[in-house]
Structure 1
Amino acid sequence: MQTALSSVLLDVPRAAAIWLALLVLAVVAVAGLVARPDLFRSVIGGRIREAAMPSLLEEAAEERAQRRYADEVATAAERAAATASRMRAEWLSAQDEVEAAWQAYEAAEADVRRLAAATALPRPHTERTPAEYADRERYLHRAALDAYWRRELSEEQLSDVFAHRNGWDPRLHPVDQELVLRRAVRDHLRARQEAAQEREQAAWRAAEQAAVAARSLRDEAFAATVPAPQEQESLLPGVGDEPSPAAEQTREMPVVARQKPAVARGRAAVPA
């Protein structure tokens, strides 16, 4: 019993020294917190943010994925720009085609007006013999073939010429046959001009859509290459944030009664 008591009494000074050292450390820590409260906030807040932020490996993986996405979008933007350039070239070519078709139609219309005026003049009298009718038929077929090879008549119109239908009469005078031929050429060129105009409109719409797509991909590629600003917010309220002087003043000042705002009079008081 005395041996156990003596051993306990020997440990008492050592335990008292340990408790005294712990008490001194606690007093120093409290004094430091009272003197420098911002030190505790910045250190603890920084450690919490570091613990909550993604690791370096995850950040590197995200950066690689972002670069890969930016490269893919840039490649798609280049292809879209090439497509838009090709569509624009096709649209310009369609415009030239429309202009050429319109000029050809105007020339055919002028020929019709000129021949229509010529048919009002008296024609020389010719004997209506089988040989004369054969010559007129050969003349009509040859003139229609020449117009077809110049792409002034369609295949359907040429077929009507040789079948002698839809107004094609080989017994007419050559002047009248020429007028019928010129009118058919005018109608064909008019239809070709309208078709060319429809193709030009379709090419214009396709070029516009391609330009919009290229512009959108170009903006997306630029946005992918520029990193978005990351705002680091405090993970815990009141930790790591420096209190503003206004906040300190508000915290120290008592609650003040709010003043009643002045009421504006006249038209300015009514919101538009």
Structure 2
Amino acid sequence: MNVVADMLLTEPAPLAIWVTLLLAATLSVLALAGVDGVRDPHLVLVDAVPGVRRLRARRARRREDAAHAVRYADELVVATGRAARVADLWREHAEQSAQHADTAWQAWQDAEQRLVVMRAASAYPMPDAGTPAEHAERERFLHRALGAAVDRGDLPAGALTEDGGWDPSLHPVEQERAVQQATVAHRRALYQRAVMAEKAVRHDARLAVATRDSLRQEAAVAVARATAVRHLVPGLRPGPVSRPRRAVLIPA
């Protein structure tokens, strides 16, 4: 053994001096590190090693990324359930719109058939009103026919108050034919509007289904990723995720 080692092993005084110097140097390092370092000397030792600092930073980033992945997966699961319910509502709305269009088409066809019968019945010329009383009766008949058509939905409510070009001097048979012609036009317009509404609803229903399916696929991927890293954040509570929400259409 060398001379210094022999001296430290055989003489206690030099050993005490070296221990004192080492302790003083350690306290000096802790004082330079600040209050936190004096309170927790382990932090000074950790921060003094760059490799350890990088390892801690990587672990912190992994935990942060894992927390984000878990929250995002949980949020997507909720959004997928909501999108599925919305898609079901749109499907029901589309079915109702299709049924409404079918009903409107049948009402139009029925009106057309009644007009064919009336045209055959009024094929022959009808006599004109001979007296003022007869003219007044024909006018009252026209108002009753229009009111009945409005009550049935064959004509809009404005048919009673607006000037529809009605001729109260016509024979009641001819008046009924005129009312039926207006009914056919109204029923055809209602059917056309119903078809346009059905197309719009079906388009929105397809968008809702596409949104639901897209969310399902994205949620499946997110859940798989979250499952792989959930052990890194076992006590994580659901929280907000900084990601824009998808817009989902709601039936009017």
TM-score range, shorter chain: 0.5 to 0.7
**In the alignment, what sits opposite 2:147?**
145
Would the aligned equivalents of 2:94 and 2:201 in 1 still touch at CA under 8 Å?
Answer: yes
Could you tell me how far apart the structure 2 residues matched to 1:138 and 1:194 are? 32
Aligned equivalents of 2:117, 2:129: Cα separation in 1: 26
Distance apart, 1:181 and its partner CA: 0.3
* Amino acid paired to 1:69: Y
Write the distance in 1 (CA, Å) between the matches of 2:198 and 2:56.
57
> Do the aligned partners of 2:84 and 2:212 also contact (CA within 8 Å) in 1?
yes
Q: Hey, what does 1:28 align to over in structure 2?
A: none
Q: Which residue of 2 aligns with 1:181?
A: 179
Structure 1's consecutive aligned runs of 4 or more residues displaced over 3 angstroms after TM superposition are: 51-58
| CA deviation vs aligned residue, 1:87-110 (integer Å, no higher than 9, x gap) | 111111000000000000000000
Identical counterparts, % of pairs: 35
Distance 1:57 1:127, change over 3 A: closer
Aligned length: 183
The structure 1 residue matched to 2:198, chosen from 169, 180, 200, is 200
CA displacement 1:102-158 (0-9 Å, x = unmatched): 0000000001111111111465x5761111111111111011111101111113322
Residue 159 of structure 1 deviates from its aligned partner by 2.1
In structure 1, how many angstroms separate the alpha carbons of the residues matched to 2:164 and 2:222? 65
Matched residue type, 1:132:
E
Q: 1:168 — aligned with what?
A: 166
- Name the SS of the counterpart of 2:225 in structure 1: coil
CA RMSD of aligned residues (A): 2.9
Task: Give ranges in structure 2 of 5+ residues lacking alignment.
Answer: 7-50, 229-252
Partner of 1:65: 68
Which structure has the bigger radius of gyration? Answer: 1
Superposition map of 1:45-84 within 5 A:
55-84=58-87
The aligned amino acid for 1:180 is A
Q: TM-score, normalised by structure 1?
A: 0.60
Q: For 2:159, give the aligned amino acid.
A: Q
Shift of 1:67: 1.1
**Alignment counterpart, residue 220 of structure 1, candidates 218, 221, 235:** 218
User: What amino acid is aligned across from residue 65 of structure 1 in structure 2?
Assistant: H
| Partner in structure 1 of residue 97 of structure 2 | 94
For residues 106-125 of structure 1, the aligned pairs below 5 Å read 106-121=109-124, 123=126
Q: Secondary structure at the match of 1:159?
A: coil
| Cα 1:82/1:127, change in 2 over 3 Å | closer
The question of whether the paired residues in 1 share the 8 Å contact of 2:129 and 2:135 is answered with: no
Q: Aligned-pair distance for 1:55?
A: 4.4
Residue of structure 2 in register with 1:191 after alignment: 189
Q: What amino acid is the match of 2:89?
A: R
Residue number in structure 2 paired with 1:39: none
The answer to whether the 8 A contact 2:129-2:171 is kept is no
Letter in 1 for 2:67: R
1:167 Cα offset (Å) = 3.0
1:128 matched to 2:130? The reply is yes
Residue 41 of structure 2 corresponds to none
Partner of 2:157: 155
Cα deviation 1:13-41 (Å, max 9, x = unaligned) = x9xxxxxxxxxxxxxxxxxxxxxxxxxxx
